[in-house]
């Protein structure tokens, strides 16, 4: 025979249930709110004002319009992007913290074996936003007019030609190391702390050659202070239509670009990834596209699957180059 609970115990039980419901209420309400219901943070591994930061802010402006929520830039430079990636990786996978992934995320583990972030394991990828090529440039005093001129001279003078870069593991450094490996060159690397000082010494004739971002080349090529020899993109660039690619110069398949994409912490729900992808693709049209293409950058707007495959390909490719060259981070 079942016995009824005493009245006092019944009241306590009902009170407990009611209080539990009140405690869960805000969580249930938050779970039921459509995404996004509050501002979204985009973590960027670059200081304010630089090219990467500009890409992020231009995207954030359009993304905010599409999402109906503010998109806040959180700059976390340093350690070849590891600081930013760590912060993004540890964030809740709820779509409110995003990461602007870039080439540094595909090279960090190879450059620093102790690095804890693995870009393909710790993130889901939403879309590749843009890529920008490097250009092989020479000082006019070198006398080189084409990439073949440079290659011929370098092969005839092994170990006697130095090249500048913005630092160990930078896109310009890796592009030249790939060129060395593919073309069988022996060049001396002179790393600088930043692209500005490296470019200044090439402009001054202290060093004859380097790979540098295409937007930095535009004013100096126009005045004849630098001679563009080849571009690292898979196809010719609209800003430099007459400039052959490295692949056209005799190294088929050569491609080395700096790129930026949108990623989120692993575990972010597919529905949120799809919502962000749709919003980002729309945000990359109009002013964003015009501003990027004016500097020679190429707007991609790929699918999550395409971007995931691209990141894996980049990781595999640069890991091979880095290990073959014995490159380590500063």
Q: What fold, for 133-231?
A: D-Maltodextrin-Binding Protein; domain 2 (3.40.190)
Task: Give the residue-averaged pLDDT of 223-240.
Answer: 95
Q: What is the dihedral of CA 44, 49, 55, 56, to 10 degrees?
A: 40
**pLDDT tens, residue by residue, 276-315:** 999 999 999 989 999 999 989 999 999 999 999 999 999 9
Asked if the model's pLDDT at residue 43 lies above 90, the reply is: yes
Rounded to 10 deg, the angle between the 304-325 and 171-183 helix axes is 70
**pLDDT tens, residue by residue, 130-181:** 999 999 999 999 999 999 999 999 999 999 999 999 988 889 999 999 999 9
Question: DSSP letter string over 185-202?
Answer: ---EEEE-SSHHHHHHHH
Beta strand ranges found along 175-323 (DSSP E): 188-191, 209-213, 227-231, 257-265, 298-299
Residue 305: which residues within 8 A CB-CB, separation 6 or more?
A: none
Residue 25: predicted pLDDT: 45
Furthest-apart CA atoms within the chain: distance in Å: 104
Residue 113: predicted pLDDT: 78
Q: Are the C-beta atoms of residues 42 and 129 closer than 8 Å to each other?
A: no
**pLDDT tens, residue by residue, 46-90:** 999 888 999 999 999 999 999 999 999 999 998 888 999 999 999
Give the span between the Cα atoms of 11 and 7, in whole angstroms: 6
- Nearest 5°: phi and psi at 290? -60, -45
Residue 1: predicted pLDDT: 44
Residue 29: predicted pLDDT: 43
Asked if the model's pLDDT at residue 227 lies above 50, the reply is: yes
Residue 240 DSSP class: S
| Gap between the terminal Cα atoms of the chain | 78
Neighbours of 34 (CB within 10 A): 7
Give the span between the Cα atoms of 50 and 194, in whole angstroms: 12
CATH number 3.40.630.10 is the correct assignment for the domain at 40-132+257-325? no
Give domain limits for the chain.
40-132+257-325, 133-231
Asked if the model's pLDDT at residue 191 lies above 80, the reply is: yes
Q: Are the C-beta atoms of residues 280 and 63 closer than 8 Å to each other?
A: yes
Which has the closest alpha carbon to 216: 299, 298, 104, 134? 134
Q: Would you say the CATH fold of 133-231 matches that of 40-132+257-325?
A: yes
Give the span between the Cα atoms of 240 and 296, in whole angstroms: 8
């Amino acid at each position: 025979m079942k016995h009824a609970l005493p009245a006092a115990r019944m009241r306590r039980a009902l009170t407990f249930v009611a209080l539990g419901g009140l405690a869960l209420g805000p969580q249930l309400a938050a779970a039921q709110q459509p995404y996004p219901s509050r501002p979204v943070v985009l973590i960027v591994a670059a200081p304010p004002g630089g090219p990467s930061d500009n890409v992020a802010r231009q995207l954030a402006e359009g993304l905010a319009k599409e999402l109906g929520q503010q998109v806040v830039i959180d700059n976390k430079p340093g350690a070849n992007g590891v600081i930013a990636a760590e912060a993004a990786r540890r964030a809740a996978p709820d779509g409110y913290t995003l990461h602007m992934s870039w080439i540094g995320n595909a090279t960090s583990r190879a450059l620093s074996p102790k690095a804890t972030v693995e870009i393909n394991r710790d993130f889901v990828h939403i879309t590749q936003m843009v890529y920008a090529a490097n250009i092989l440039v020479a000082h006019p005093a070198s006398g080189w007019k084409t990439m073949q001129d440079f290659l011929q001279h370098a092969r005839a003078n092994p170990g006697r030609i130095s090249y500048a870069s913005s630092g160990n593991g930078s896109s310009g450094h890796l592009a030249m190391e790939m060129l060395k490996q593919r073309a069988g060159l022996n060049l001396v690397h002179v790393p600088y702390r930043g692209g500005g000082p490296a470019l200044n010494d090439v402009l001054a004739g202290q060093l004859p050659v380097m790979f540098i971002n295409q937007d930095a080349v535009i004013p100096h090529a126009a005045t004849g202070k630098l001679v563009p020899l080849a571009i690292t993109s898979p196809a010719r660039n609209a800003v430099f239509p007459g400039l052959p690619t490295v692949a056209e110069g005799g190294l088929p398949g050569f491609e080395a670009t700096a790129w930026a994409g949108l990623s989120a912490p692993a575990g972010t729900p597919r529905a949120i990834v799809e919502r962000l992808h749709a919003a980002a693709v729309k945000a990359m049209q109009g002013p964003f596209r015009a501003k990027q293409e004016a500097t020679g950058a190429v707007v991609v707007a790929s699918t999550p699957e395409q971007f995931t495959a691209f990141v894996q390909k980049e990781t595999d490719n640069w890991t091979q180059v880095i290990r073959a060259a014995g490159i380590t981070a500063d």
